[in-house]
Structure formats: C-alpha cells, structure tokens
Chains A and B, each alone.
Chain A
Amino acid sequence: AQRVTQPEKLLSVFKGAPVELKCNYSYSGSPELFWYVQYSRQRLQLLLRHISRESIKGFTADLNKGETSFHLKKPFAQEEDSAMYYCALNIQGAQKLVFGQGTRLTINP
C-alpha cells in the first residue's frame, strides 16, 4: 500500500534551534518525494523535491531508501518558518500525490 506518515501533528521549537520534521513512506516503486508548506493565510506551495537536491529557505531533505524516510531539516529555525508542512509521495504512472497528515511547526521567539 502507498502511504506517507508524518508522526508528529505538532512540533514546537525555539528560534535558532535545529528543526527536523519526520516523514516516512511505504511504496513498492521508486519513490519521488516532496515537501509542501502552507503559511498562515497562504496557499499550499511546493517547498522542495528530493530529485532537485536543493536547499530552499535553509531547508534540506534527504531521501533514505533504507529507512524509507524523507525528513525535512533546518539547522537554525526562524520565526517565519512557522507553518503547516506536508510530505507527499508521487505515485508514478497514476500521476497523483499521496500526502501525509501534516505537521504544524511553531517557532517560539
């Protein structure tokens, strides 16, 4: 079965502290994973995708096929990082995304 699990519904860290949002997936094919972010009163938008291997707004995510994980990390959290974060898995062939339950990240001053 295709599934994306984000074990933390809520995550709260202090400004300047490292942050890690966990994402695990279950998929028999070759995984293609994304992180989407929804800031307050804004649309859901793409943050990064594992194929690009890029860093966006200081965030990075590495695909670990052995652990079937795609955790999102940032070494020093900023208050503007407070948002809802969704991990998503692309189902190849079907051209559709399966989303995790989301993690609400709050950065405390």
Chain B
Amino acid sequence: DGGITQSPKYLFRKEGQNVTLSCEQNLNHDAMYWYRQDPGQGLRLIYYSQIVNDFQKGDIAEGYSVSREKKESFPLTVTSAQKNPTAFYLCASSWADNGYTFGSGTRLTVV
C-alpha cells in the first residue's frame, strides 16, 4: 500500500521540550514538505526538500528543524524555540509537478 505515513497521530509536548514528528513515504517521490495547518490560516509551509541531503526553509521555519538523510524520510523537529507549537502538522510528497500526496497528519499539543 503506497503512501505517506505520519506518526504519531497525537503528540503532547511539555514546555521547553523538543519533539520529532515522523514522515515516511514509499512513493519514490523526490520532494517532501512540511506544512502547518491552523484554523483560518490555511496551510503554511515550514520546510521542504527537493532531494536527499538538501532542504529549504519555508515561510514559517523559525523554531523548527528538519533532516533528509534518506529519500523516504523527512522528520520534523519542533524545538523549544517555537513559541506557539500547538497545531496540526501535515507532511506531503510530490514528483515533478504532479500534485502532492498528503499524510494523515500529526496533532501536536503543548501541555
């Protein structure tokens, strides 16, 4: 079953903690993306990667970090520097300009 898997589905973070959200794809897509979805604000791009070992900042990269050591994996770390991390996080992948395939998302809550 090809697709994108995000884990965990729900994640709780304490103030001052770093947490890592997992995103894995078996679609052989070159490009991968992380978006943050907030009510009334749509999807905002955090980071994206077009190729292994390379990634670029999106519009709201502050307080986040990523790595792309493997084509299949693009984990996102939400650091303690992110002032308002409570949100729904979506991972996506794409090949050429064929549109995106999205994961099911991770809901992060700061407690």
Which residues of A are interface residues toward B (Cβ below 8 A)?
6, 9, 32, 34, 36, 43-46, 49, 86, 90, 92, 94-102
Chain B interface size band reads 20 to 34
Pair A44/B99 contact, Cβ less than 8 Å = no
Residues in A neighbouring B58, C-beta threshold 8 A: 96
> 10 A-B contacts, Cβ less than 8 Å apart?
A43-B102, A49-B99, A95-B48, A99-B35, A99-B42, A99-B43, A100-B42, A101-B40, A101-B41, A102-B42
Given contacts A32-B97, A101-B42, A102-B42, 4 further A-B contacts (CB under 8 A): A92-B97, A96-B45, A96-B48, A102-B43
| Alpha-carbon distance between A71 and B82 when the two chains are bound, in angstroms | 35
Which residues of B are interface residues toward A (Cβ below 8 A)?
31, 33, 35, 40-45, 48, 50, 56, 58, 90, 92, 94, 97, 99-100, 102-105
Given the interface pairs A95-B31, A95-B50, A96-B48, the reply to whether A44 lies near B40 with Cβ below 8 Å is: no
Q: How far, in Å, is A13 (CB) from chain B's closest CB?
A: 20
Q: How far, in Å, is A11 (CB) from chain B's closest CB?
A: 14
Q: How far, in Å, is B68 (CB) from chain A's closest CB?
A: 14
Residues in A neighbouring B90, C-beta threshold 8 A: 44
| Alpha-carbon distance between A49 and B40 when the two chains are bound, in angstroms | 23
